[in-house]
Amino acid sequence: QPPRPCEDYWWEWKHCRGLRHAFHHYYAHGELPACGRWREDYETCRAWERDGAAAAQEALCKSERARVMERQKYAPVWTLRKSPPPDWYLPLDQEKTN
């Protein structure tokens, strides 16, 4: 079974090709979005469902792994805390004696 339903890939491809998304992507990144990968993933997913081809399965899993790695490539903007600050209960306008 594919990692996502094939309709998800189709919807992502249609969304990527939409005028609103293209305008936003161009405004944010300075280039039009590359939507071909979603179409290829949709075709590969259909081949996996239809034929159960091992090559289609491997190609789709590789594409999903690449998508996850691309999302994890960027570090978070804020540093995450392990615990709250020691003076978290004090009012904000009180002077700190540090």
Q: What is the pLDDT of residue 95?
A: 64
pTM passes above 0.85:
no
What tokens does 63 get? 């594409």
Whole-number Å distance between alpha carbons of 10 and 71? 20
Please compute the mean of the pLDDT values over residues 50-63 and round it to a whole number: 89
Please compute the mean of the pLDDT values over residues 77-82 and round it to a whole number: 86
Greater confidence, 90 or 62?
Answer: 62
Listed residue (33, 31, 35, 55) closest to 45, CA to CA: 55
Whole-number Å distance between alpha carbons of 98 and 91? 15
Mind listing the pLDDT tens digit for each residue in 16-44? Answer: 999 999 999 999 889 999 999 999 999 99
Greater confidence, 96 or 85?
Answer: 85
C-alpha dist (Å) from residue 81 to 2, 16, 40, 78: 37, 36, 40, 9
